[in-house]
């Protein structure tokens, strides 16, 4: 399904979305440039989570008894948790909330409905599984197949809000578009920036009661995360797997 983010590959190598989320959650003194720096890391990480999840579901890459919601939880934990032993990740709730908000934006930008997004994050595992399977098909059918167009979409999703002003009532303005919500419409449809506005105003609150304080990884999930970390440094495979990150590495989008 997924090819290379050629224009972003050099910047992806050192990105760390989980660390960026921590800096946003803890860094009251961040200026706008620093905040944008970390928001961009989160946007990129969220996009890779969504593409990786869709790829795993549509290519039947789940373990024999692995549920779609379990893979989703494992991917989210890879961004918002710290390793606790060999097989567990401890979830940091503020980090999870910030990353989840950007994942919601990524889902919505691919045309996923609000109801499906809510179900995917909901505490009913059976409903979440059904929603995630449907979401994967929507994402699979919506990803631009032309490499240049895909690069353009990624640039717009990750960096698009940097070139706009988002005011206090949620309106988003730039030279080309005047909107009443944190949405920009263009050749790829609507690109959503609700999380950007919420992060800038310190209003991120997302709860996922299905995911507790810890996530235990199955051997298959652990292998997938290890493989993703390895492939993250191989630009030819960047779009195929998640750039799994943990806290402690600086974001390197600039």
At residue 126, does pLDDT exceed 90? yes
Looking at the predicted structure, is the pLDDT value of residue 74 above 90? no
Higher pLDDT, 225 or 55: 55
121-125, 159-163, 206-210, 244-248: least confidently modelled range? 244-248
Token pair 């505490």: residue: 123
**Quick one: average pLDDT of 135-159?**
81
State the average pLDDT over residues 174-181. 34
Sequence-separated (6 or more) residues with CB below 8 Å from residue 119: 127, 128, 130, 131
- Top pLDDT among 196 and 133 is at 133
Burial class from Cβ neighbours inside 10 Å (0-12, 13-18, 19+) for residue 178 reads: exposed
Helix (H, G, I), strand (E, B) or coil at 175: coil
pLDDT score of 202: 54
pLDDT at 115 over 90: yes
Angle (CA) 165-116-187 rounded to 5° is 45
Name the pLDDT band for 248 (thresholds 50, 70, 90).
Answer: very low
pLDDT the model gives residue 184: 54
pLDDT given for residue 31 in this prediction = 56
pLDDT for res 32: 53
CA–CA distance, 235 with 63 (Å, rounded to integer): 26
User: Please, which pLDDT band fits residue 82 given cuts at 50, 70 and 90?
Assistant: low
pLDDT interval class at 130 (50, 70, 90): very high
pTM (2 d.p.) = 0.66
Among residues 225, 251, 233, 246, which one has the least CA distance to residue 52?
225
Residue pLDDT, tens place only, 2-32: 332 333 333 332 333 344 444 444 544 545 5
pLDDT, the chain, mean: 64
pLDDT at 225: 63
Lowest mean pLDDT among 34-43, 62-71, 135-144, 180-189: 180-189
pLDDT, mean of residues 147-173: 63
Confidence (pLDDT) at 119: 93
- From CA 174, how far away is CA 221, in angstroms rounded? 41
Residue 254 pLDDT more than 50?
A: no
Q: What are the extents of the domains in the chain?
A: 9-158+210-237
């Amino acid at each position: 399904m997924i090819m290379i983010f050629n224009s972003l590959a050099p910047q992806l190598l050192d990105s760390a979305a989980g660390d960026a989320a921590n800096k946003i959650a803890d860094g009251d003194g961040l200026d706008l440039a620093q905040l944008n720096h970390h928001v961009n890391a989160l946007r990129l990480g969220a996009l890779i989570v969504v593409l990786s999840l869709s790829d795993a579901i549509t290519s039947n890459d789940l373990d024999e008894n692995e549920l779609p919601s379990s893979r989703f939880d494992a991917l989210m934990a890879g961004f918002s948790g710290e390793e606790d032993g060999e097989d567990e990740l401890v979830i940091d709730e503020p980090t999870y909330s910030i990353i989840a908000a950007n994942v919601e934006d990524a889902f919505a930008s691919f045309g996923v409905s609000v109801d499906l997004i809510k179900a995917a994050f909901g505490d009913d595992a059976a409903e979440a599984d059904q929603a995630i399977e449907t979401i994967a098909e929507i994402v699979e059918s919506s990803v631009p197949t032309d490499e240049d167009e895909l690069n353009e979409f990624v640039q717009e999703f990750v960096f698009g809000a940097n070139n706009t002003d988002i005011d206090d009532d949620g309106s988003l303005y730039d030279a080309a578009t005047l909107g009443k919500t944190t949405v920009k419409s263009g050749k790829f449809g609507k690109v959503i920036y609700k999380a950007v506005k919420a992060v800038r105003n310190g209003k991120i609150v997302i709860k996922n009661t299905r995911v507790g304080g810890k996530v235990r990884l199955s051997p298959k999930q652990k292998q997938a995360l290890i493989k993703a970390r390895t492939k993250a440094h191989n630009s030819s495979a960047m779009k195929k797997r998640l750039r799994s990150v943990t806290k402690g590495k600086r974001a390197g989008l600039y």
